[in-house]
Amino acid sequence: MQARITIDMDDQKFFQLCEALLFVSPDPVKAEDIQRCLGKDTVENIQEMLQEFKIVMNSRQSALEVVSVAGGYQLVTRSSFTPYIRRMNTIQAQARLSRAALETLAIITYRQPVTIPEIEHIRGVDCSGVVKNLLDKDLVTILGKRKVPGNPLLYGTTTKFLIDFGLADLQSLPEIEAFRKVLSRSEEAGPELPFQKNGESVIQNNNTPENGEGE
């Protein structure tokens, strides 16, 4: 196949360049981006070659494919592998969390919006440091303040939490017993997570006593 780009690079070399750029870029790569990298050729010519690159890449028996998105191109995994990738993300997310973090995350997940005093009422220990750690990992976020004396902050889960645990939305959360088993698979988490304390369910409701200040 005769090269159609005007610089000293044949089609195969150009396709390899595109694959490399798409691989390292977190955002869609546009023809203008490649033109700036090359320093030569026209955007129109590169756009034509990108279309052919997409066809060639997607004809391979590979787990990766090129998709057109937001005016550019991205190298992504094929959708048939999505369930396995989500499962791996979940396992990796669990491995990065300590037992205390998993316990606290479980309480926030099922009781949100919830305050630190309410979390400590269930866990029976100070949780401020653990919550800060979850904030730093972008697994929980501040949703506002509870309108009670002291105006304690309200916490809930984030989009990253949904992604890491393979959930479409909060409505996709498993029943509490199933979630207990998921969290308990972590190396650091034992089989008993405090979804109940003194008979009180973690998911009883979102309106725990306002003066539940811990023990």
Decide which of 89 and 133 is more confident.
Answer: 133
Does residue 123 sit in helix, strand or coil?
A: helix
Domains belonging to the chain, first-starting first, are 11-77 (1.10.10.10), 83-201 (1.10.10.10)
Does residue 126 sit in helix, strand or coil?
A: coil
Decide which of 203 and 44 is more confident.
Answer: 44
Arithmetic mean of pLDDT, 182-207: 41
- Single-letter amino acid, residue 134: L
Q: Could you give the dihedral angle defined by the CA atoms of residues 36, 37, 39 and 43, in that order, rounded to the nearest 10 degrees? A: -50
By mean pLDDT, which of 62-71, 75-84, 91-100, 111-120 is the weakest?
A: 91-100
Identify the band that residue 204 occupies on the pLDDT scale cut at 50, 70 and 90.
very low
Alpha helices in the chain (DSSP H): 11-24, 31-38, 43-58, 82-95, 99-111, 116-123, 128-136, 159-164, 176-183
Q: What is the pLDDT of residues 106-124, one digit of tens each?
A: 899 999 999 999 999 988 9
pTM (predicted TM-score): 0.48
DSSP letters, 55-105, are HHHHTSS-SEEEEEETTEEEEEE-GGGHHHHHHHHHHHHHHTS-HHHHHHH
Euclidean distance between CA atoms 184 and 178, whole angstroms: 10
Arithmetic mean of pLDDT, 7-25: 83
Q: What is the pLDDT of residues 205-215, one digit of tens each?
A: 343 333 333 32
Identify the band that residue 83 occupies on the pLDDT scale cut at 50, 70 and 90.
confident
Euclidean distance between CA atoms 189 and 91, whole angstroms: 13
pLDDT (0 to 100) of residue 35: 86
Share of the chain above pLDDT 70, in %: 74
Residue pair 66/58 in contact (Cβ under 8 Å)? The answer is yes
By mean pLDDT, which of 98-107, 175-184, 196-205 is the weakest?
A: 196-205
By mean pLDDT, which of 5-14, 21-30, 55-64, 98-107 is the weakest?
A: 5-14
